[in-house]
Amino acid sequence: MIARALRFQDISDGWLAAARRVVSPNCDARPAGVAVDTLVVHGITLPPGRFGHGQVDALFTNRLDRAVHPFYEEINGLRVSAHVLIERTGALTQYVSFDARAWHAGRSYFDGREAVNDFAIGVELEGTDHCPYAPAQYRALADLAAGLMANYVALAPERIVGHSDIAPGRKTDPGPAFDWPLFRALMERACI
């Protein structure tokens, strides 16, 4: 665990050296003077319930082909991104520098503040609310969180939340299938 966490601490100019990089245009500058102090865990599959098709890359880079699946017509024109995607295998893709504001939280509220994108890092896990996440994803997320906390000192374990926590009633991810105690135990070990 320690070697993996140290590798994930290698962040330069907001980019993780250990991740594949696919740059998303769906981002902008964080407000001046706002520190990164929150990590939001999301769940995503495209098409819904299907894994491993590379469609998240297409969504986050505005290249989603509406003809591929009827659901894509519903989200046509949506401009969203996350900082990182963790695939079922544990592989990481980074779309937005951690120093920039990704468009992952939407209308959101946390710890007395609105517009969570301003101060949060968004991490998508390839998965659904009711399908268990893969062990490799938990390990990668724990190691990534440890690395982020080492680089962004205002980020602490109690500030790692689900999308459902910052947008209750609107979002449900990462859902009941996400094992928070397992993730937190792995993260504690990764921080040693």
* 119, two tokens: 């101060």
Q: Is 188 a catalytic residue?
A: no
pLDDT-derived band of residue 3, with 50, 70 and 90 as boundaries?
very low
Q: Using the predicted structure, report yes or no on whether residue 10 has a pLDDT greater than 60.
A: yes
Helices (runs of H) and strands (runs of E) counted in the chain: 6, 12
HEC sequence for 30-41: CCCCCCCCEEEE
Q: Using the predicted structure, report yes or no on whether residue 1 has a pLDDT greater than 90.
A: no
Q: Please pick, among 74, 124, 126, 188, the residue that the annotation labels catalytic.
A: 124
Q: Using the predicted structure, report yes or no on whether residue 2 has a pLDDT greater than 50.
A: no
The percent of residues in the chain predicted with pLDDT above 70, rounded, is 96
Coil, strand, or helix at residue 116?
Answer: helix
DSSP-derived letter for residue 67 is T
Between 1 and 110, residue with greater pLDDT: 110
pLDDT of 37-96, one tens digit each? 999 999 999 999 999 889 999 999 999 999 999 999 999 999 999 999 999 999 999 999
Q: Are 14 and 100 in contact (CB under 8 A)?
A: yes
The pLDDT value given to residue 191? 85
Strands 15-16 and 100-102: unpaired
Q: Domain 2-45+81-190: state its class.
A: alpha beta
Q: Are 46 and 82 in contact (CB under 8 A)?
A: no
Side chain identity at 120, as an amino acid letter? A
Owner of token pair 């517009």 = 115
Phi, psi of 64 (to 5 degrees): -70, 125
Q: Are 123 and 84 in contact (CB under 8 A)?
A: yes
How far, in Å, are 42, 105, 149, 153, 166 from residue 191 at the CA level?
22, 26, 9, 13, 25
pLDDT-derived band of residue 146, with 50, 70 and 90 as boundaries?
very high
Q: Using the predicted structure, report yes or no on whether residue 136 has a pLDDT greater than 60.
A: yes
Q: H-helix or E-strand containing 109?
A: strand 109-110
The pLDDT value given to residue 19? 96
Domain boundaries, the chain: 2-45+81-190
How far, in Å, are 50, 78, 80 from residue 73 at the CA level?
17, 10, 15
